[in-house]
Structure 1
Amino acid sequence: MLQRLFKAYIGSFSDLRREVWLLAFITFINRAGTMVIPFLSLYLTKNRGFSLEEVGWILTFFGLGSVAGSWLGGKLVDRIGHYKTMAFSLLISGVLFIFLQFPTTFWGICAGIFIVMLVADTFRPAVFVAINAYSKPQNRTRSITLIRLAINLGFSAGPAVGGLIIAGAGYGGLFWVDGITCITAGFLLLKLLHPKKAVENPKEILSIPKSMMKDKPYLVFIGAMILFGFVFLQYFSTIPLYYAEVHFLSEFEIGVLLGLNGFLIFLFEMPLIKYLEAKVRSTLFHVITGSILVAISFMLINLTGWVGILLVGMIFLTLGEMIAFPFSNSFALKRAEGGKQGSYMALYSIAFSIGHIFGHNSGMQMINKFGYALTWNVMILLSLIACGLLVYVMFLVKKESESPVLET
């Protein structure tokens, strides 16, 4: 029985190209060091002494930098290609992460966060386009999942190690680790993954490229992803505060709980995605399922003060994430065919960057004024609205596929 399960698990990774594995390895090295982000709200309140309102505004600049970086990354990908854009992002953001520990004033930290994210998030549309370049069409969703596994495996180790670093060397050590790992990932990219190794998937060349801003299903889909990102990102800003202030967890305990998210994804996401791909369901159906599971995670932690419910809520959140992100990413890449891929994937990245702009700040302000329980109820409502928008996208795509002119 165990042998069959092991073979099935290994089989879920089959047929992925070597270049996709290399891209995943580089992404893992980068993400393993990104341990400042989950502790950012705690760093700003405990180490720098900022209020919740001030932290909310600082995290808004985090989101603004992310939006600007995603937009810039899309432009760079369409002009100079995904390879040069990724190398630029990794090497320069590594240096900037090291310097981010030195600003002490409110506006200095706002400016520092903005600049770091401006450079760091040029990587996001570039890596999406790289996945499309290196993977076979039939393996696109699983290639996306492998990259996500690399991210989450790094994330599972990062917060746990980050908690130990805080205990031993303080928050300053996190910035050094972040910077060094980003620079290391950049050099590995230059050494291992040359752009000539990419095998572009054959696409129909259109005389008039598809206009992203006239792609109504895609724009509605992006609206749904903004709401989903708004809700999901609470787990990396307000939820850690909830763990600390309501359930009195230490930084190390919070790191372990957040790290569980990445560990579960590492174990189960690829087999789950392969299983779901075999089902006769649309990509958007799976995204809706994931959104509902995330809503349930917030509902659960509102039901009881039992500390064990945090673990149950994290499991539901992780299931929702495992399903929603790979299939939403796959849908975006599919819509990008025939258009400018950098611009399409930049808008997909910007959807989650907007979540950073409004999600963190709004979450902080709502908690400060109305408390955690009401804030989590608002997150449940926003998740359901996102599901409604995704159902509408399904209708638009079905209508579009029946058109004699357009084809998805």
Structure 2
Amino acid sequence: MTSVPTGKPSLLQSRIGGFPRAFWVLFGGTFVNRLGTMVEPFIGVYLTQARGMSLASAGLVMAVFGIGSLTSQIVAGWLADHLGRRATLAGGMVATAITMIALGYSTSLPAIVAAMAVLGMVVDAYRPASQALVADLIPAHDRPRAFGLLFWAINLGFAVAMIAGGWLAQSGFMWLFWIDAVTSLVFGVLVWRAVPETRPEKTHEAGGFREVLKDRLMVAYVVITLAYTFVYLQAYSTLPLAITGQGLPTTAYGLAIAVNGVLIVVVQPLVGHWLAKRDPSAMLALGMAVVGAGMALMAFVSTTAGYAATVAVWTLGEIFTAGMAGAVVATLAPAHLRGRYNGLFGFAWSAGGLLAPLIGTRLLAIGPGTLWLTVGALGLLGALGQMAIAPAVRRRAAA
């Protein structure tokens, strides 16, 4: 008698198998969108070089963008629950495409400020809807793996965009605006045509942001996330200033931060399956501690190689957190409030994006050691906070 194959999944299937088609559409659209993310990283250069703005004016314009981004997450979270994930995500991407073109052709300061305010509102409006969509589609035990794959797609696409964007900017900044607009539009159309609406049917349960804010566990998690975001985003706000402030060339920052992208693209797929089986809160706490340690080590280096080594340390911490943050939000959020919960979570990241350069530069003015040891301690504090709420998160997951 012939034996029937057991059907044991292959190594590749165990890492990427088992997800519905709608998830892979979201994955592909996210990757395409990140491939075209060229305007944001170069916006300061564009405003000062192409539009002739002073540093002060450019800073004001970027602050307007940041304020728009803060409100964006709250509004988009409400829309994801009220209008649906599909409509919010697709609508946000189409609005982003239109605003990118409007900004590219704006020449006066009022027009640029208005376009940047709208762009801040719409460019990341897809995030709460995307996170809620994954929570709707994927069962709880597989969410860390799903969120980890999206994290990898974002980083791979962004790494390519940074290289291509720097090269294309030499031929004219309008290339950046058009490519960003087209990839945003492609993402929106893909979702609209190929992703079904997953929002749970409305029930008698009332709810809104007031209900989210009554969830003390979620509020504690958002505060911890804000602290971690402040630490993590120093890498993209004060780190280039710290490196050049020590007399190193600007290329030193480029080389050091490139280590981050390379390690994520190479290492994360290798360990993602193993990490997905671990407790999300424990992995988040470990990752926050390692990121904090890597940042603190920057107080003791002064060469390009030294900075690259510290980037490698905190990148490993970032890999530990990959996919875990979204999985915790999905655990805490009732199905009918997933958009709002993710909106509040996204608000913490936007707030961290505003506070990181604002406070970080003042700490750097006191001294590099003050900056890096302070953010290192804050990273450790965030890890301790995550460990403190971990039992309550596990109880919520079990319930």
TM-score normalised over the length of structure 1: 0.83
Match of 1:66 among 64, 69, 73: 69
CA deviation string 1:312-364 (max 9, x = no partner): 22222322222224111100011113551111111111110111222233334
What is the SS of the residue equivalent to 1:340? helix
Match of 2:97 among 46, 69, 94: 94
Separation in structure 2 between the aligned mates of residue 383 and residue 206 of structure 1, nearest angstrom: 41
Gap runs ≥5 in structure 1:
1-6
C-alpha contact 1:63 1:353 (8 A) present in aligned 2 = yes
C-alpha contact 1:238 1:363 (8 A) present in aligned 2 = yes
CA deviation string 1:212-245 (max 9, x = no partner): 2221111101001011111212223333444555
What is the SS of the residue equivalent to 1:15? coil
Gap runs ≥5 in structure 2:
1-9
Alpha-carbon distance change, 115 to 364 in structure 1, aligned in 2, over 3 angstroms: farther
1:391 pairs with 2:387? yes
Which residue pairs with 1:156 in the alignment? 159
Separation in structure 2 between the aligned mates of residue 378 and residue 42 of structure 1, nearest angstrom: 29
What is the SS of the residue equivalent to 2:17? coil
CA deviation string 1:116-140 (max 9, x = no partner): 0101222110100111222233211
Which residue pairs with 1:182 in the alignment? 184
CA deviation string 1:29-59 (max 9, x = no partner): 11111123233445556664544x6655544
C-alpha contact 2:293 2:376 (8 A) present in aligned 1 = yes
CA deviation string 1:42-77 (max 9, x = no partner): 5556664544x6655544333221121111111111
Which amino acid in the other structure matches residue 237 of structure 2? S
Separation in structure 1 between the aligned mates of residue 113 and residue 367 of structure 2, nearest angstrom: 25
Which residue pairs with 1:291 in the alignment? 288
Deviates most, 293-302 or 256-265:
256-265
What is the SS of the residue equivalent to 1:169? coil
Which residue pairs with 1:213 in the alignment? 213
Where in structure 2 are the equivalents of 1:74-153 lying within 5 Å? 74-102=77-105, 109-153=112-156
Where in structure 2 are the equivalents of 1:273-312 lying within 5 Å? 273-279=272-278, 282-312=279-309
Separation in structure 2 between the aligned mates of residue 10 and residue 397 of structure 1, nearest angstrom: 29
Alpha-carbon distance change, 392 to 60 in structure 1, aligned in 2, over 3 angstroms: farther
Separation in structure 2 between the aligned mates of residue 92 and residue 259 of structure 1, nearest angstrom: 31
CA deviation string 1:268-312 (max 9, x = no partner): 224323212334xx3211111111121122223221212112222
Alpha-carbon distance change, 393 to 55 in structure 1, aligned in 2, over 3 angstroms: farther
Alpha-carbon distance change, 70 to 209 in structure 1, aligned in 2, over 3 angstroms: closer
Which residue pairs with 2:233 in the alignment? 233
C-alpha contact 1:69 1:119 (8 A) present in aligned 2 = yes
Which residue pairs with 1:3 in the alignment? none
Which residue pairs with 2:266 in the alignment? 267
C-alpha contact 1:206 1:338 (8 A) present in aligned 2 = no
What is the SS of the residue equivalent to 2:304? coil
Deviates most, 129-138 or 372-381:
372-381
Offset of residue 110 of structure 1: 4.5
Which amino acid in the other structure matches residue 194 of structure 1? V
Identity %: 24
C-alpha contact 1:226 1:354 (8 A) present in aligned 2 = yes
Alpha-carbon distance change, 315 to 17 in structure 1, aligned in 2, over 3 angstroms: farther
C-alpha contact 1:60 1:356 (8 A) present in aligned 2 = no
Separation in structure 2 between the aligned mates of residue 10 and residue 257 of structure 1, nearest angstrom: 34
Alpha-carbon distance change, 173 to 208 in structure 1, aligned in 2, over 3 angstroms: closer
Offset of residue 16 of structure 1: 2.2
1:351 pairs with 2:348? yes
TM-score normalised over the length of structure 2: 0.85
